[in-house]
Amino acid sequence: MSSGPPPTKGIRHVALQVRDMGRMEAFYRDVLGYVEEWRPSPEELYMTRGADNLALHAVAGAPGEPRESRLDHLGLLMSRAEDVDAWAAWLAARGVVLDTRPRTHRDGARSFYARDPEGNRIQFLWHPPIADK
């Protein structure tokens, strides 16, 4: 008998509902470096970067129209603490306003937050216990 749940590779897939597919695709492709994996229709796009898989699903409504979401943030893990600062500089150079500046937390992790074009909060994080996983 196992004493815990079966192993996983972690949260490697996120699906977002988007109002402006073109703008969101451009951000994740041109700013964050994701590439198109599969586009089954104009309303669906699957992108990858490393071990990540991101799905963008178009929803009805005007771009920028507020809608309910229970998502607090999604996280992109870094292999090294200095990668957090490199990402902050990369985003700032591309006109992305950072919600917070990079900082080291009490647990030794280092991170900052920024948002995609539709306001989804993204944490850029180096967390020592999982940095090499």
Interval 46-102: pLDDT, tens:
999 998 999 999 987 766 666 667 788 999 999 999 999 999 999 999 999 999 999
**If we measure between CA atoms, which residue out of 115, 123, 121 comes closest to residue 27?**
115
- Per-residue pLDDT of 14-30, as tens digits, reads 999 998 999 999 999 99
CATH 2.60.40.10 fits 72-133, yes or no: no
Residue 117 has pLDDT above 90, yes or no: yes
The correct answer on CATH 3.30.70.990 for the domain covering 1-60 is no
Enter the pTM of the model: 0.85
- Residues 130 and 79: their CA atoms lie apart, in Å, by 9
Domain boundaries, the chain: 1-60, 72-133
The reported pLDDT for the residue numbered 62 is: 63
Residues in the chain: 133
